[in-house]
Amino acid sequence: MPHVPLRIGIVGAGGIVRSNHIPGFRALEDCEIVAVCNRSQESGARVAQEFGIPDVETDWKKLVARKDLNTIVVGTWPYLHKDVSVAALKAGKHVLCESRMALNASHAHAMLKASKDAKKKHGLVTMLCPPPTGFRGDYVMKELIASGHLGAPRQLYVRHMSPGLLDASKPIYWRQQLKYQGLNALTLGMLNEPIERWFGATKKVIAATKIFTNKRPEKQGSAKMVKVERPDTISVLAEMKNGMQAAYMFSGVTLLPGPNVIEAWGSEGMIRYELDGDRIFAARKGDQAPKEVPVPAEKARTWKVEAEFVAAIREGAAVTPSFEEGAAYMEFTEAVERSAKTGRAVSLPL
């Protein structure tokens, strides 16, 4: 495939864009960040000054329409992911979109359709930013599971707890507002993405959610209280297509929550991924205790997101997470939402 110089526009230069994407692209050959558009002209100008970006746009639609750009990085909150991504693809641009793909499954499928159309017509590439959970040991986990270490897969346990929302006096965070965050609450989709990559698709879910702090201050020191719209805790029972029974526990209101883990059991063995330290432990029948599985340097997944995206454009390399994978975890999060509201099991795909 031809070598393609990338001229990049950024819509939403948040934390991960500034810390990872901008340095990542600048380290690659023939990748130039040409323009940035943030929620305000002032914040966009600060980013442009910090990183030497030539142009600041105040309207993302104008940035996406620019003829001198061929790539768009979508770093906004989820509420704009669909609109910006679809517009960019229609304008003939490759798209790298931040994780938490969209507000809901409908938006995710609109993005997926636009991606497929753009790839078929113009060879455009789309990719989602991967979540940090389960990142370093990803390749080793896939190898271990594919080797048949578990035997017949039976049970799966996913636990991700935090005290981050425990203080009821803290101002509301944008992720607690439906209009910005959408249905992908807490770390639900972020953990389902590696789960489905390792163990396959989910067949059915039944879920319960709870908001313990119903209102929070609009901002620090404000007397105005704002309704909290996304749950503080989520519990999910699921059936996987491979036959596994799965249990997910998520919370943002747990004091001294203990380790966050993904644990899997089968007829012949078990695997435990300790998420906080990116460490893998495993055992087989006859073992007295799990032993740590080394993650050698050559098998450790390291941050190469920007290079992988560029390789997909220039060499046709595969990407992960793809928009297909994102649409799958958005369906999972929506199924959880529907089940929690109705008290009934919800089958997948929707």
- Within a domain: residue 105? yes
First to last CA, the chain: 37
Cα atoms in the 13 Å half-sphere on the side-chain side of 323: 28
Tokens of 62: 């104008």
Residues 172 and 275 grouped into a single domain: yes
Number of neighbours of residue 254 by Cβ within 10 angstroms: 18
Residues 149 and 205 grouped into a single domain: yes
Residues 315 and 243 grouped into a single domain: no
Residues 40 and 88 grouped into a single domain: yes
Q: What is the pLDDT of residue 3?
A: 81
d(Cα 35, Cα 40) in Å, to the nearest integer?
14
Q: What is the dihedral of CA 87, 306, 125, 47, to 10 degrees?
A: 10
Q: Which of 133, 73, 114, 121 is nearest to 97 (CA)?
A: 73
Asked if 333 and 341 count as a contact pair (C-beta separation under 8 A), the reply is: no
Task: List helix spans (H) across the chain.
Answer: 15-16, 22-26, 41-51, 60-65, 81-90, 105-122, 138-146, 178-181, 188-199, 305-315, 323-342
- Within a domain: residue 324? no
- Within a domain: residue 337? no
Q: Residue 14 carries which DSSP code?
A: -
Total count of domains within the chain: 2
Residues contacting 130, CB < 8 A, separation 6+: 99, 193, 305, 320, 321
pLDDT class of 4 with cuts at 50, 70, 90: confident
Residues 253 and 297 grouped into a single domain: yes
The SS3 assignment for 4 reads: coil
What mean pLDDT comes out for the span 224-231? Answer: 97
Q: Residue 175 carries which DSSP code?
A: G
Which conformational region is residue 148 in: left (phi greater than 0), alpha (psi within -120 to 50 degrees), or beta?
left
Q: What is the pLDDT of residue 112?
A: 98
Is the confidence at residue 13, as pLDDT, over 90?
yes
- Within a domain: residue 10? yes
d(Cα 164, Cα 309) in Å, to the nearest integer?
32
% of the chain residues with pLDDT over 70: 99
* Amino acid at residue number 214: N
Asked if 331 and 184 count as a contact pair (C-beta separation under 8 A), the reply is: no
CATH number at residue 120: 3.40.50.720
Q: Which domain holds residue 147?
A: 138-302
Residues 112 and 153 grouped into a single domain: no
- Within a domain: residue 108? yes
pLDDT class of 1 with cuts at 50, 70, 90: low
- Within a domain: residue 344? no
Average pLDDT, rounded, for the chain: 97
What mean pLDDT comes out for the span 2-23? Answer: 94
Residues 54 and 116 grouped into a single domain: yes
Residues 307 and 182 grouped into a single domain: no
Helix or strand (DSSP H, E) at 161: strand 153-161
What backbone torsions phi and psi does residue 347 show, to the nearest 5 degrees? -90, 150
Tokens of 279: 């460490």
- Within a domain: residue 326? no
Over residues 65-112, the pLDDT tens digits come to 999 999 999 999 999 999 999 999 999 999 999 999 999 999 999 999
Q: Residue 170 carries which DSSP code?
A: S
Residues 152 and 281 grouped into a single domain: yes
Read off the pTM.
0.96
CATH number at residue 238: 3.30.360.10
Cα Rg, the chain, nearest whole Å:
21
Over residues 134-150, the pLDDT tens digits come to 999 999 999 999 999 99
d(Cα 69, Cα 270) in Å, to the nearest integer?
49
Asked if 245 and 239 count as a contact pair (C-beta separation under 8 A), the reply is: yes
- Within a domain: residue 34? yes
Residues 11 and 114 grouped into a single domain: yes
What mean pLDDT comes out for the span 320-338? Answer: 97
Q: Which of 82, 41, 45, 42 is nearest to 64 (CA)?
A: 82
Residues 221 and 86 grouped into a single domain: no
Residues 294 and 182 grouped into a single domain: yes
